[in-house]
A = this chain, B = another copy of it.
Amino acid sequence: MARGKKTEIDKSDIKALQDTIFVVGGKWKLPIIYSICNGNKRFRDIERSIPGITTRMLSRNLKELEDNKLITRKVYTDLPVIVEYEFTEYAKEYGALIKQMIEWGKKHKKILVQN
């Protein structure tokens, strides 16, 4: 990012970047995305697929992902309660970005190990 080479980032960019990070930030967001991505739809299924997560954390994070329109929550019956979580169409746009983050993360690890 040399001077004059125009790689300027402005304040609103920083804000946007922080928003992006926030959406997948924290300890559990990614594992949850991973779980749903692999076909788990119900609370218990997602919970069991993620070692170490508590119901509290899962509940809270699902709600945040829902607030961010990345997943939908649908209640099907009420006794017993059956709920299914699914990715929104919108989330799929995010998918491409996630893949790039994965790629970068992998390259990055290699570079760190080298030296």
Main secondary structure on A side of the interface with B: helix
Q: Are A37 and B108 in contact (CB under 8 A)?
A: no
Chain B residues closer than 8 Å to A111, beta-carbon distance: 69, 90
Chain B residues closer than 8 Å to A95, beta-carbon distance: 1, 7
> Within the complex, what minimum Cβ distance (angstroms) separates A13 from chain B?
5
- Interface size grouping (class) on chain A: 35 or more
Q: How many copies does the complex hold?
A: 2
The interface of chain A, by Cβ under 8 A from chain B, is 1, 3, 7-9, 11-21, 23-25, 30-31, 33-34, 36-39, 68-69, 87, 90-95, 97-98, 100-109, 111-112, 115
Between-chain CB contacts (< 8 Å), 16 pairs: A12-B106, A13-B34, A14-B34, A16-B106, A16-B108, A16-B109, A17-B105, A18-B30, A20-B101, A21-B30, A21-B101, A25-B25, A68-B108, A69-B111, A90-B111, A100-B100
